[in-house]
Chains A and B, each alone.
Chain A
Amino acid sequence: GQSLEQPSEVTAVEGAIVQINCTYQTSGFYGLSWYQQHDGGAPTFLSYNALDGLEETGRFSSFLSRSDSYGYLLLQELQMKDSASYFCAAQDQNFVFGPGTRLSVLP
C-alpha cells in the first residue's frame, strides 16, 4: 500500500521558521513533491526532490532522505500569506498525496 504522514496543524508567528515533516511508505518511489493550497484554491507546486539533500527556492526549502523515507518542507521568514495547507506527495507511477498540514501564521 501507499501512505504518507504529516502533522495535521502547525502554528507559528511572522518571521519565524517552520519545518513540516513528511514520512512515506510507497511500493515504488521516484521523488517527493510539496504543494501549497490556500482555502478555496487549487494546489500550487512548491518543490520536488528526487535525490537526497536540500533544495532551496527562495524562502522555501525541501529536504529528502530516501533511506529514511522522510522529507520536510522548511519555510523561513514566515509571512501571513503563508497561512495555507501544505501537502507532500510521493511520486510512484502517479502522485499520492499526504493528508496535509494546516499552517497558521500569527502576527
Chain B
Amino acid sequence: GAVVSQHPSRVICKSGTSVKIECRSLDFQATTMFWYRQFPKKSLMLMATSNEGSKATYEQGVEKDKFLINHASLTLSTLTVTSAHPEDSSFYICSARGRTSGIMHKMGETQYFGPGTRLLVL
C-alpha cells in the first residue's frame, strides 16, 4: 500500500517555541493532505485540509495563525505549531489522499495515514 511518513515522530519543546512537522507521501502524489489532532483516548479531530498549491481550509475553532499549514508540493505538507503552549500537547497525524484512477466511490480507499507526531510542550 501507499506510504506516508511524518517527521519528527516525537518532539518535546519549551512553551513559546515553534515546532514544524513534516508529512510526506513517499510513493504517490498527494493532491490533498489532512491534518488531525488526537488527544488521549479520544477520536481524531480534523484540523485542516490542504490542497497542493492553495491555502489550507481550517475547521471551525482551529486558529490558522497558530497552526500554519503549507502544502508546497504534491509530496510534502508541513504543519507549524507557532508559539506552542502546554495545551497544544497532542498526537498530530497527517493523512494523504492521492490521485484516484477509479470511480468516485473508491475515494475512501486512498486516504493513507502517517505514523503520527507526539508533541509535548513543557
Contact = CB atoms under 8 A, between A and B. Distances in A.
Contacts of A87: 43-44
A95 B108 CA distance: 9
A62 B49 CA distance: 27
Q: Main SS of chain B's interface residues?
A: mixed
A35 B109 CA distance: 11
B43 A51 contact: no
Interface centre among B34, B106, B112, B113 (most CB of A within 10 A): B113
B107 A30 contact: yes
Interface residues of A, number: 23
A94 B43 contact: no
Contacts of B74: none
B98 interface: no
Interface in A59-105: 87, 91, 94-100, 102
Given A30-B107, A95-B108, 5 more contacts: A30-B105, A45-B109, A95-B34, A97-B43, A98-B43
